[in-house]
Structure 1
Amino acid sequence: MIDRIGRARQAGHKIWALLFVLLALFCVIFFAARGRFQASAATSTVGTVLAPFEMAFSYGGQQIQYIMSNLWEIATVHEQNKMLKNEVEQLRQQNTMAEEYAAENVRLRELLAYKQSAHQFDLLAARVIGRDAALWTSTIVVDRGAKDGVRENMPVVTGKGLVGHVTEVGPVSSKVQLILDVRSSVGTLIQRSESRVTGLVTGTMENPYMPQMVNIPRNADVEDGDAIVTSGFGGIYPKGISVGRVASQRSDDSGLLKIAVIETAVDFQRLEDVAIITASREAPPEPVQALPLSPGAAAAAQISAAQTKAAQP
């Protein structure tokens, strides 16, 4: 009895398997012949039964195609975005370099214009390559040295005015003492023709970027805004180089003299390119002439000279 039941089950499984094979074969034949022959009523019935499955397979295929298309588009966009970022970075670097070249061009044009106007000087262009960390407002280092003909005490300028002078010379670089240094002393004068007051410009610890003009008589004709230039005295700086303008004035501690605070012509905080005066054809300043004597004083001087000569053996 049990064997019969087992055999019946196996026969049922075989029948279902045979039916599945026949159904699959029928589907293959149906789809192969579809469109070639006119569908019969049975075929239409089978098509109706299989339509949901066809729709499901078609929808699944469309979704898979859509997902693959999106994945490909995302990968393409990511690669394009990466390329665009690289291009933006390159353009940013090129823009930065272009701005640097433009700024350097402006500075060099300024030096060139000064060189063309100052025919009395032989100028050597130099670039600032360092500053003294301990004395930021006192000294700089430039990229010109003994091999370029630089010597100590040569003045250093820009197209706007005086910077300082060379204090140490190496083979390929030199150290320059700025006029802001408290150890610096520059002979200067007020450029205004009605004044022509002389004095010394020296650095100060009170305001490192604004030196002072000292040794000015209390009643001297000095006004705020007066231009200050080198006087030529001292043997280092030629006459007529712009130093700055008078920003303010005050009396010194003694009360007999006054001090003028100077706004320098050169912006020392943005100093990058300078020029070294290697030779100057500027005529030295004329010596100070004694004031002419009045007629009475002249006669007294002649009498005194005659008496002195008569008293000589």
Structure 2
Amino acid sequence: MKIPSNNNNFSAKRLLVVIFVVISVLCIIFFAAISRFNTPLAHAIVINVLAPFQSVTSAVSGKISAFGDYVHDVFYVYDQNRELKAENDDLKSKVTRAAELESENARLSQLLNYRTNTPQFDLLPATVIGRNSSTWSNHIIINRGSNDGVDKNMTVVTPDGLVGTIHEAYPAYSEVELITDPRSAVGAIVQRADSRLAGVVKGTADSSSAINMTNIPQNANIVEGDIIVTSGFGGMYPKGIVIGTVTSLKNDIGGLLQYAVLYPAVDFQKLEDVAVITNYREPVSALPPQPQAPTQPAANAQPAPATNQNQGEAK
């Protein structure tokens, strides 16, 4: 008969002790969790056993919650920024449109006042829609044509002064030759009453905006600051439209004549709205006096009938 060794008995006992301890710990944890076995020792054991797991779980949960809040804030801020940007763009567009309408209203008001102050002109408002690419500085395109009654050689103006003439009229638009074109020639006169010096205003080839009044005698009565207006000579331009102001006087080639450098009344680089003079009449003040009726009665005129007062006295 074989007798078991002491080592085997010791191993079996140790295994039983370990199993008992494990079961005891599990029971303590279980009862402590359901609050049916609450002792300081069990509570301490539960805390010591579960604390690491709770710490890790709490940290992970906090990180996840913080990340979720961060993601929510990112998307919220993105949506807010997108909405604010759309509102900002809309406000900018409205401000720009309002400023443009205000500018257009101011220009049209000036044109309306000009029409009121010049009843001798029949004005057709027009808008500049382009410039001739080959003569950028000397020709413009307007949105009025022969369908609107525009014809070649009609005068084009702004409330500030003379712009030019209709170079070519098409059905829906027209090409305007500016007075800055060297090929143009405008009969002009000094507006000052004690001068009334006549000359011709032309554009210059060396500048896109300069105009000169030429053919001026050396001893002519013209000085810097004089206002130059259309003379009406030749019949193309109506009389009295402002052309520009004399800025300086210079000797012409040969020295026999001089010319006046003018500052144009119109800023040709900023033309937007103009008016075409489709018809014009002499101002009322410039019309010749009408013949008066004769003061002496005619030989065969009948005597005037007696008034009621005279008839009463006769009675």
TM-score of the two chains, using structure 1 as the length reference: 0.80
2:73 aligned residue:
73
Distance 1:95 1:24 in 2: 76
Distance 1:29 1:116 in 2: 104
Change in CA separation of 1:110 and 1:39 when aligned onto 2, cut-off 3 Å: same
1:305 aligned residue:
none
1:308 aligned residue:
none
Change in CA separation of 1:283 and 1:115 when aligned onto 2, cut-off 3 Å: closer
Q: 1:252-283, CA deviations, whole angstroms, 9 ceiling, x for partnerless residues?
A: 11211110011000000101110001110126
1:307 aligned residue:
none
How much has 1:31 moved relative to structure 2?
A: 3.0
Distance 2:30 2:241 in 1: 104
Counterpart check, 1:138 vs 2:134:
no
1:205 aligned residue:
205
Distance 1:280 1:90 in 2: 46
TM-score of the two chains, using structure 2 as the length reference: 0.79
Mapping of residues 9-24 of structure 1, within 5 Å? 19=22
Mapping of residues 146-225 of structure 1, within 5 Å? 146-225=146-225
Corresponding letter in the other structure for 2:261: V
How much has 1:56 moved relative to structure 2?
A: 3.2
What is the alpha-carbon root mean square deviation over aligned residues? Answer: 2.9
Distance 1:160 1:277 in 2: 14
Per mean C-alpha deviation after superposition, the further-off stretch among 168-177 and 43-52 is: 43-52
Change in CA separation of 1:158 and 1:29 when aligned onto 2, cut-off 3 Å: farther
Distance 1:272 1:261 in 2: 25
How much has 1:236 moved relative to structure 2?
A: 1.1
Change in CA separation of 1:46 and 1:165 when aligned onto 2, cut-off 3 Å: same
Distance 2:192 2:30 in 1: 111
Distance 1:62 1:26 in 2: 29
Where do 4+ consecutive residues of structure 1 move more than 6 Å? none
Change in CA separation of 1:39 and 1:119 when aligned onto 2, cut-off 3 Å: same
Corresponding letter in the other structure for 1:66: A
Change in CA separation of 1:28 and 1:271 when aligned onto 2, cut-off 3 Å: farther
1:276 aligned residue:
276
1:227 aligned residue:
227
Distance 2:283 2:81 in 1: 67
How much has 1:140 moved relative to structure 2?
A: 0.8
Distance 1:182 1:126 in 2: 24
Q: 1:208-236, CA deviations, whole angstroms, 9 ceiling, x for partnerless residues?
A: 20111011111101111110100111111
How much has 1:88 moved relative to structure 2?
A: 1.9
Change in CA separation of 1:167 and 1:127 when aligned onto 2, cut-off 3 Å: same
Which SS does the other structure have where 1:89 is aligned?
helix
1:249 aligned residue:
249
Corresponding letter in the other structure for 1:209: S
What is the number of residues matched between the two proteins?
A: 275
Distance 1:99 1:22 in 2: 87
2:129 aligned residue:
129
Change in CA separation of 1:75 and 1:29 when aligned onto 2, cut-off 3 Å: farther
Corresponding letter in the other structure for 1:155: T
Distance 1:113 1:252 in 2: 40
Per mean C-alpha deviation after superposition, the further-off stretch among 66-75 and 183-192 is: 66-75
Q: 1:168-225, CA deviations, whole angstroms, 9 ceiling, x for partnerless residues?
A: 1111101111000111000010101111101000111122201110111111011111
Q: 1:8-65, CA deviations, whole angstroms, 9 ceiling, x for partnerless residues?
A: 99xx7xx87x94x8856754543333xxx68312322223313532233223322221
Per mean C-alpha deviation after superposition, the further-off stretch among 199-208 and 78-87 is: 78-87
Change in CA separation of 1:23 and 1:194 when aligned onto 2, cut-off 3 Å: farther
Change in CA separation of 1:127 and 1:28 when aligned onto 2, cut-off 3 Å: farther
Give the unaligned 5+ runs of structure 2. 1-7, 288-315
1:311 aligned residue:
none
Which SS does the other structure have where 2:175 is aligned?
strand
Distance 1:169 1:272 in 2: 19
Per mean C-alpha deviation after superposition, the further-off stretch among 74-83 and 148-157 is: 74-83
Change in CA separation of 1:51 and 1:264 when aligned onto 2, cut-off 3 Å: same
Which SS does the other structure have where 1:134 is aligned?
coil
Mapping of residues 79-98 of structure 1, within 5 Å? 79-98=79-98
2:41 aligned residue:
42
Corresponding letter in the other structure for 1:198: A
Distance 1:108 1:177 in 2: 22
Distance 2:246 2:103 in 1: 29
Distance 2:138 2:181 in 1: 4
Which SS does the other structure have where 2:204 is aligned?
coil
Identical aligned residues as a percent? 40
Give the unaligned 5+ runs of structure 1. 287-313
